Amino acid sequence: MINLTAMLGVLLRLVILLGLAGLLPQPQTTLTMIISPTPGAVLRGQVVIRANLPPGELQRYELDFGYQDDPTQTWFPLTQSDQRPADEVLFTWDTTLITDGDYRLRLRVLLADGQVLEHTVTALRVRNDTAVETETPFVSSEHTPTSTPLPATPTPLFTPTPLPPNPLILTPNTVLRMLARGGFVAMGLLVFLGLYTRLRQRRNRS
């Protein structure tokens, strides 16, 4: 004899498992999508970010940046869209709006079939106001990454000019002489005020 209560329990478990399976996020797949800039590149000024998005019906892509050594894994959005970019250009990044340092880029692509593709480019060095420490490809808005020879040692942005010697040097003897002069002047003023006060009192009495 069929136990209806047991069958209902089994069906209920199946419904719950199927519902949970639909709510669980799809595993992310790592894929090389960002073409430029490449890891370790130096970025200055307006930097064009290019990518080759995978085939399939696109739902949305998101481009973010973050600090290279950020333990909190915080990302800051640059752009997002549900349309495929023209000529592989995702975004033009104005690196003058951030401080010099080491950064990374992350591109996340969500496809209509539920796939989540992700690609991260690390060790991007923004050097708008500081010298470049090693030879590395340079990325700008007008050129693709090329190897640019750079000096082995950093070139300072300016040469400090030594200040002239300060002629006003106070010694203990100078300070004592200044205090003595000030004391004599103060005593003279007190004596003068005392004599002046007595003369006025005598005139008033007479």
pLDDT value for 125: 97
Pairing of strands 28-30, 116-126: parallel
Q: Where are the domains of the chain?
A: 26-148
State both tokens at 151. Answer: 């000096």
Where is pLDDT greater, at 134 or 204?
Answer: 204
pLDDT at 127: 97
Which residues are CB-neighbours of 100 under 8 A, at least 6 positions away?
126, 127, 128, 129, 130
- Cα-to-chain-centroid distance, residue 173: 53
Question: What pTM did the predictor assign?
Answer: 0.54
In this prediction, residue 44 carries a pLDDT of 96
> Which CATH fold topology does 26-148 show?
Immunoglobulin-like (2.60.40)
81-93: pLDDT as tens digits:
999 988 899 999 9
**Residue 81 CB contacts under 8 Å (≥ 6 apart), including other chains:** 60, 61
pLDDT class for 22, splitting at 50, 70, 90? very low
pLDDT of residue 191: 76
> Of residues 202 and 173, which shows the higher confidence score?
202
- Sign of the dihedral through C-alpha 53, 56, 62, 66: negative
- Give the model's pLDDT for residue 25: 45
